[in-house]
Structure 1
């Protein structure tokens, strides 16, 4: 069976679409996972400094590590996160190729596919002698908050021209790759995890109805809208779970707002099942127009009512999600969603995603890789 070398985010982080897909491939394919080489230069703030120090410790102390996952080896690469400088990219190219080739030899990979979810890996694509190359694009990097726009977009353009296949989760992202060999592979969901009933967590408020959101608390959230909403619904409790990456000062000052620290992915079903309305309170910007949030199908699998601002990806579930109408206050969207908490409505939401498993997506990819295994070219 063909092996895989994968460029992704840090494996220990909150699971991305790439991680979900790769986990489904592990029973049939050995994988070297190259931890994140970044998309932007670090800022001089606490979060970025801690992350840089952790990456340096990982490289010095581990470099590579087998995990509890069968067939998975994680590589902790050392790179310089300054992708706009040509001389830095040349150094990173030398560093990465050397580290990855050593790991490939150690794991005795002879025929392998190169999978990347990071445009900044483009410089090493032609130097690793892969059977085939695949680019999985899960986000519009040109619109992501905090990403080094120009260097990353240039890298992505070169990357798309080099690979044998570009895979995207939705039609909006597909429009960015006209002329490239392309496959749309919609996101899946871990339906058993999110649908199996869980006990109410102790730190979830018990007084009043509860509206909740989990994920990165970043600039793509409409904080002003949330402040207005929480103020208009003083008897409701609002819970936000995740790392704070933007100013929440006006929001967290409200007495009915609760900011909880990040939870492990396996803990999230207990929260989403036991609050009353799940929230998708996104801004109307370029990033959200192209986004396909994993939590949408996770929310639906839990059966909990969903209140959302309107964006492209959510429209496919307009029968299951309560969408904000033009000029409608968001608090009314929440109130409308709250009315759909009955068993019949819950079952309708769950049935909408019951067969949308990550496993089925991984099986399709595994079949593709079997077809590729007999070929010997990588552009």
Structure 2
């Protein structure tokens, strides 16, 4: 089978990233070989890393010898798109170790080259290589690709869970080897050469988030509710959130998403409820029905470079938003209440709740702001960039 594009991204079927959203737009026209995540840090001797290592090893063993690659049980609850194949990579996660990088390059090329089939042979067009991860740099130029695209959505020099020094060096190598660099924010774009760098802001699934959805059964109904969904990680301002809950004891604060750090401080508050992770397609059942959506981020380099998907998703749901300040709010500041302290958040929440008579009109304004920023539109912009290669 002829492969049009190799994509190095996160594990397919996890909470969908911008990479998954964009590549999905290309599937009707292209045969995609998706390579699940390559590590960005050396493993540590803790239960979480050991469990993830075992999951990776199990997937690789289960896939050994297979040339027709299909979804594993964790990939997605639905069947894979027809033109998408998934590979669990054989690689060693140790970004700063030259031997590990060399071995990974050999393992990956031996694994992937046979899967490319007729790509690049007998007059067929060679595949395009797309990576969202600097750790794929070692196979750039080794897979008979016609060009390399680096899609940068994070500041890897500041991102949690990354070996910053080695990964930053790998990113510099990748930038020099790439023919096209696409970034999700202007701050990220400033890191790379102007002549081959393009800004492509995130999109939103306008149909999913704007279409009325029934209220989730586990969403509290006793009094006003404010909510946040996303990873509860180092960039989430737990102190602000906990103080906010104390200031507004008559409100219920809902958290949805995996806990990537210790959240016992949050769970100690009686009016904070953590509902765990939810499938992406169920999120409108929460964001359309709670009273206010929250973006309580810390002020750090990672957040200054980010362009969170949930900002546009909240707007598409029509939800009021209260947020800490960060650059990606530009273009939406007239629709977002901004404060950098818990007292300011509390004041804004109370004002929003008291002004409920204008809710329907404001919901329509928020939705209209992002209706032309769908992933379909972003996919068309991406196709134009790729065609130019």
Conserved? CA contact 1:75–1:103, under 8 Å: no
- What is the TM-score with the length of structure 1 in the denominator? 0.94
Greater Cα shift, 35-44 or 142-151:
35-44
- Normalization by structure 2: what TM-score? 0.91
Change (3 A) 1:344 1:83: same
1:132 to 134, 138, 147: 147
Q: How does 1:1-379 map to 2 (within 5 A)?
A: 3-62=4-63, 64-65=69-70, 68-105=80-117, 110=124, 111-179=126-194, 181-324=196-339, 329-339=344-354, 341=356, 342-372=359-389
Q: CA deviation at 1:328?
A: 5.3
Name the CA shift for 1:53/1:2 in 2 (closer, same or farther; >3 Å): closer
Question: Residue 209 of structure 1 contacts residue 275 of structure 1 at CA under 8 Å; is this kept in 2?
Answer: yes
Q: Which structure 1 segments of 5+ residues have no match?
A: 373-379
Aligned equivalents of 1:18 and 1:26: distance in 2? 12
Aligned mates of 1:340, 1:51 — CA distance in 2: 47
**Distance between the aligned counterparts of 2:183 and 2:272, measured in 1?**
35
Displacement after TM superposition at 1:360 (Å) = 1.3
* Greater relative CO, 1 or 2 (CA 8 Å, sep 6+): 1
| CA separation of 1:46 and 1:204: change in aligned 2, threshold 3 A | farther
**Closer, same or farther in 2 for the Cα pair 1:328/1:29, shift >3 Å?**
same
Deviant stretches of 4+, over 6 Å = 106-109
Report deviation, 1:213.
0.5
CA positional deviation for 1:258: 0.6
Q: Please state how far the C-alpha of 1:330 moved relative to its aligned partner.
A: 2.2
Q: Distance in 1 between matches of 2:360 and 2:38?
A: 46
Q: C-alpha displacement at 1:114, in angstroms? A: 0.5
Q: How many Å separate the matches in 2 of 1:240 and 1:114? A: 37
- Bigger Cα displacement from structure 2, 59-68 vs 263-272: 59-68
Q: Aligned pair in 2 of structure 1 residues 107, 13: CA closer, same or farther (>3 Å)? A: farther
Q: Tell me if structure 1 keeps the 8 A contact 2:3–2:33.
A: no
TM-aligned CA distance change 1:48 to 1:344, over 3 Å: same
Q: Quick check: 2:243–2:342 contact (8 Å CA) kept in 1?
A: no
What corresponds to 2:75 in structure 1? Answer: none
Deviations 1:158-212 (A, max 9, x none): 1101111100112111111144511111110000100111111111111011110
SS across alignment from 1:13: coil
Do 1:305 and 1:340's aligned partners in 2 also have CA atoms closer than 8 Å? no
Deviation at 1:61, TM superposition (A): 1.1
Structure 2 residues without counterparts, runs of 5 or longer: 72-78
Please, what is the CA RMSD of the aligned residues?
1.9
Mapped contact 1:220–1:288 kept (Cα < 8 A): yes
Across the two proteins, how many residue pairs are aligned to each other? 372
Distance 1:201 1:106, change over 3 A: farther
Question: CA shift at 1:235, angstroms?
Answer: 0.6
Q: CA deviation at 1:2?
A: 7.6
Whole-Å separation in 1 of the counterparts to 2:382 and 2:183 = 13
Q: Is the 8 A contact 2:4 2:119 kept in 1?
A: no
- 1:340 deviates by 5.5
Cα contact 1:97–1:128 (8 A) shared by 2: yes
